[in-house]
Amino acid sequence: MIITADQITQSRVLADIDFAIIGSGAAGGVLAYYLSKAGYKVVVLEKGAYYPPEYLGMREVAMWTKILSPTTFQPTHGKHTRVSLLMGQCYGGGTVASESVTWKLPDPVLQDWADMGLKSFSPGNPRNAAYHDELYRLLEVRPVEDKHHNQNNQLLKLACQREGIEWGSVDRPCSFCMRCGFCTQGCRYELKNDTPTTFLKWANEHGADCYTGCEVTNIRVNYEDEDDFPMRERLKARGESSKDELKRQIQARRKNFNGYKFTITAEVSDRRETLSRGGDPERFGLTVKARQVIVSAGALASPRILLKSRINGGGRVGKRFTLHPTAFTVAIFPKDVIIDCFEGINDTVECTHYAYFNRDKDYYDPERHGFYIEAAGSLPWGIANLLPGSGKDHLDLMRRYRNMGGMEVAIKSDSYGEITENEVRYDISDADNERLIFGNKLVAKLFFHVGAKVLYPSLPGVVIRSPHEIDRLENRVNGKRIGFKTKQSHLHSGHPFGGNVMGTDRTNSVVDETCEMHDIKGLHVCDASAFPTTIGVNCCLSIMFLARKTADHILEKIKGA
Amino acid sequence: MVNRRDFFSYMFFSAVPAVLGPRRLKARPSQKQGLPRLEYLTAREYGIISRISKEIIPSEPVLSGKVDIGLNIDRFIAKNQSEDFVIMLRYLRLISLADPLVPLIRPFMPGIEDDLLSLKRVICFVGYYGDANGEGDMSPGDRIIWPEIGFGGPKPDGWFPDDSEPQLDPARLPDLIGGGR
């Protein structure tokens, strides 16, 4: 069942928990379902609040403050760039707050991961295809019908056709959609198959409990097992007699804690409560004694939970953080061309010609390509922020809202940064900058293919009024080609990855390919923070895929033991 | 190696708001004569927002007082508690401190004016174009801002979509580039 903070009136201790899952998003929901279905006692701890469907949707800023984490004013810190981060933080996490564009984890990415030694990710492994197919079936994923592309998406489709490049209708987990235009505010109609309407609901039916408004403050490891590092090294180095003694000590400690290797402490508070200024909501303690823990709080929160808990074997947690930097372009069309980019489903057409999964095509240049283009509209507050300037000029631009189209370029970054407890350090690489320049030039070209009058890219001060001015996107300052490597460029991302990356070597990764920590057995990290690279497509289903795969590994391991 | 410009930039946008803007903003709204009754903002914050909103959005409803962006934000935050707004109000304090110092800071941070403008815009737009303007709860006939830009607002109860989205006529979308790759 869903336990909201207002139902908690005193501190609680939950014992006899087989799996404590931290986070209820794409990974947490899937894991909760498969593990509870297998008969295990599962508890899900979600920091965000639970909003029933009738509470969701159709309020741009109000929902932004409720279902997204408060990172809007806290972009990444880089020497050259700042990237605003959008992350879900509510019951269902990012699956509630996203458009749910659904892509299978592309084979070239799976191959890259297999080449890193993560053999089970090999595209030839039939289980991977089976997991993807199963998720597609359960989530009722299907392509958006041609007649349901809104006018903004029709622009991208027509422009790609005129340019002669690859485009496609995206898949979405929705058998029927009201097309109300407020997808990212949460589906009020309960038609989008996010985790609350699917995996979490089914997990609840199998006895899993989910505490919302529940912020994990610490994960304590109660005892060290034989397979934990450095215990396993100590055991290896010992002679037979002292090895037995050490094992006896481990057994005794295990018995002391009744086999609950982990104790999680959390604070539960009602995040929906309206408070007087400066007031803190009432908080109650929640203690969870669990045999195994799965951290699935997303690529920003998961590394931080481990760091806060002083679980940072070898200083590897938080490292190799990356994302898909994304740049938006607004185009204004003639007054008689009504686009209404805020109506209908926002992102149903994507241009994938230069996407990473096309890397084997003869035209693909790895130095400049590796991005996809989405048709992207925005609600009034968002579009107002995307348009330049202020005062009367800005007012005049806003009066053309109905004539505006939008596209955004999301690049597969090859740059890595780091997450600390307080900040996210990340900068785009030179190649990323080239991808952004090339991708945004292509966007400009696509808009002119369909008659746009003026373009406002994510580079302040740059306005493009004709195809001859497209080179302005190189953003030359004193002859130097700056492109998007400036803190004044407006980059954002809803796709962060890494920080707890998978790998075969414990000296340069946090978890193994089953998402179990190298150093602490029974502690898993399963979400986009485990991804060793960016993936170059929308990531919701890929995270679910990893969770589905991890659930099987965990169950097989228990069965084997 | 951190250069002087990066150091000042980092200090200004991270350290200064952290020091000058207490995290939990304990101050309570104080009522002042001549100001509307405030539920969340202090009179000073309300005053700053009202001042910058006339500069950022000089529309007739704002200038005439028909739309009060400061009051919209006050009412909205009171109902929608969020860490985002605590951070936003810290930046509001930063704006009021930095505005008169811009000529002094500019040599170290050439982008300071753009950054301040960007923060002012984000705050004012919340109370004007965003649903903090209260128009989501009004009948379409009572709205002022959204009709002006052609935005229809939330879908009413009982609304149902047409079978198909309106289709663009490609003939009315001239190809200004022509050809293809």
Minimal-distance CA residue of chain A relative to B79: A274
Most B-contacting residue of A56, A64, A73, A491 (CB-CB within 10 A), to test interface: A73
pLDDT at A78 (0 to 100): 93
Q: Where is A252: in which H helix or E strand?
A: helix A240-256
Of B40, B79, B180, the CB nearest to A164: B180
Minimal-distance CA residue of chain B relative to A453: B176
CATH of the domain at A160: 3.30.410
pLDDT at A495 (0 to 100): 96
Last residue of a domain, one of A464, A497, A530: A497
Residues of A in contact with B170 (CB under 8 A): 158
Per-residue pLDDT band for A353 (boundaries 50, 70, 90) equals very high
Q: Which of A249-258, A330-339, B54-63 is least confident? A: A249-258
Question: Rounded CA gap, A96 and A506, in Å?
Answer: 34
Asked if B172 and A336 come within 8 Å (Cβ–Cβ), the reply is yes
Nearest to A86 by CA among A548, A494, A432, A509: A494
- Tally of domains within chain B: 1
Q: Residue A29, SS3?
A: helix
Residue B12 or A376, more confident? A376
Nearest to A267 by CA among A215, A309, A219: A215
Residues of B in contact with A398 (CB under 8 A): 129, 149
Per-residue pLDDT band for A107 (boundaries 50, 70, 90) equals very high
Please report whether residue B137 resides in a domain: yes
Per-residue pLDDT band for A242 (boundaries 50, 70, 90) equals confident
A432 and A369 within one domain:
yes
Residue A549 has pLDDT above 80, yes or no: yes
Nearest to A489 by CA among A379, A411, A378, A399: A411
A157 and A243 within one domain:
no
pLDDT at B165 (0 to 100): 98
Helix axis angle for A391-398 and B43-56, nearest 10°, is: 70
Please report whether residue B175 resides in a domain: no
Residue A114 has pLDDT above 80, yes or no: yes
Residues of A in contact with B146 (CB under 8 A): 380
Asked if A163 and B117 come within 8 Å (Cβ–Cβ), the reply is no
Asked if B78 and A274 come within 8 Å (Cβ–Cβ), the reply is yes
Please report whether residue B8 resides in a domain: no
The burial class, CB within 10 Å (0-12 / 13-18 / 19+), for B179 is: exposed
pLDDT digits (tens, 9 = 90+) for A198-225: 999 999 999 999 999 999 999 999 999 9
Residue B1 has pLDDT above 50, yes or no: no
Residues of A in contact with B121 (CB under 8 A): 384-385, 390, 394
Q: Burial letters for A363-386: b for 16+ Cβ neighbours within 10 Å, e otherwise? A: ebeeebbbbbbbbbbbbbbbbbbb
pLDDT digits (tens, 9 = 90+) for B51-107: 999 999 999 999 999 999 999 999 999 888 888 888 888 889 889 988 888 888 888
Which residues are CB-neighbours of A249 under 8 A, at least 6 positions away?
none
DSSP label of B13: I
Q: Is the peptide bond before A366 cis (omega within 30 degrees of 0)?
A: no
Residue A16 has pLDDT above 50, yes or no: yes
Nearest to A59 by CA among A381, A401, A395, A403: A381
Range of the domain at A410: 144-175+320-497
Question: Rounded CA gap, A92 and A196, in Å?
Answer: 5
A474 and A368 within one domain:
yes
Which residues are CB-neighbours of B130 under 8 A, at least 6 positions away?
A60, A61, A380, A381
A336 and A229 within one domain:
no
Mean pLDDT of all residues belonging to chain A: 95
Nearest to A349 by CA among A326, A378, A376: A376
Range of the domain at B107: 15-21+38-155
Last residue of a domain, one of A256, A278, A303: A256
Per-residue pLDDT band for A57 (boundaries 50, 70, 90) equals confident
Please report whether residue A24 resides in a domain: no
Minimal-distance CA residue of chain A relative to B178: A449
Q: In chain A, pLDDT over 70 holds for what percent of residues?
A: 98
Please report whether residue B92 resides in a domain: yes
pLDDT digits (tens, 9 = 90+) for A293-312: 999 999 999 999 999 999 99
Question: How many Cβ atoms are within 10 Å of A98's Cβ, its own excluded?
Answer: 24
Please report whether residue B129 resides in a domain: yes
Question: Rounded CA gap, B39 and A16, in Å?
Answer: 46
CA-based diameter of chain A, in Å? 87
Q: Residue A451, SS3?
A: coil
The answer to whether residue B132 neighbours chain A at the CB level (below 8 Å) is: yes
Per-residue pLDDT band for B10 (boundaries 50, 70, 90) equals low
Per-residue pLDDT band for A491 (boundaries 50, 70, 90) equals very high
Beta bridge partners of A167: A351
A388 and A240 within one domain:
no
Q: In chain A, pLDDT over 90 holds for what percent of residues?
A: 87
Please report whether residue B176 resides in a domain: no
Rounded alpha-carbon distances, angstroms, from residue A298 to A209, A240, A321, B111? 20, 43, 12, 33
pLDDT at B19 (0 to 100): 53
Per-residue pLDDT band for A238 (boundaries 50, 70, 90) equals confident
Asked if A162 and B166 come within 8 Å (Cβ–Cβ), the reply is no
Per-residue pLDDT band for A339 (boundaries 50, 70, 90) equals very high
Please report whether residue A277 resides in a domain: no
Please report whether residue A196 resides in a domain: no
Please report whether residue B112 resides in a domain: yes
A367 and A244 within one domain:
no
Residues 93-122 of B with CB under 8 A from A: 111, 114-115, 117, 120-122
Helix axis angle for A126-138 and A540-560, nearest 10°, is: 120
- Tally of domains within chain A: 2
pLDDT digits (tens, 9 = 90+) for A134-164: 999 999 999 999 999 999 999 999 999 999 9
Determine the average pLDDT of the residues in A338-358. 97
Per-residue pLDDT band for B21 (boundaries 50, 70, 90) equals low
Of B80, B122, B165, the CB nearest to A150: B165
Determine the average pLDDT of the residues in A290-295. 98
- Residue whose tokens read 């002022």: B144
A437 and A364 within one domain:
yes
Determine the average pLDDT of the residues in A319-326. 97
Question: Rounded CA gap, A377 and A374, in Å?
Answer: 10
ipTM, 2 dp: 0.91
Q: Where is A404: in which H helix or E strand?
A: strand A404-411
Question: Rounded CA gap, B124 and A418, in Å?
Answer: 33
Of A58, A73, A394, the CB nearest to B155: A58
Question: Rounded CA gap, A380 and A357, in Å?
Answer: 34
A363–chain B nearest CA distance, Å: 12
Please report whether residue B30 resides in a domain: no
Question: Rounded CA gap, A178 and B160, in Å?
Answer: 7
Last residue of a domain, one of A482, A497, A512: A497
Please report whether residue A425 resides in a domain: yes
Which residues are CB-neighbours of A403 under 8 A, at least 6 positions away?
A332, A333, A334, A335, A337, A338, A339
Residues 74-93 of B with CB under 8 A from A: 76, 78-85, 87-88, 91
The pairing of strands A83-85 and A491-493 is: parallel
pTM of the model: 0.94
Please report whether residue A1 resides in a domain: no
- Residue whose tokens read 């589905």: A548
Residue A119 has pLDDT above 70, yes or no: yes
- The helix/strand count (H/E) of chain B reads as 9, 0
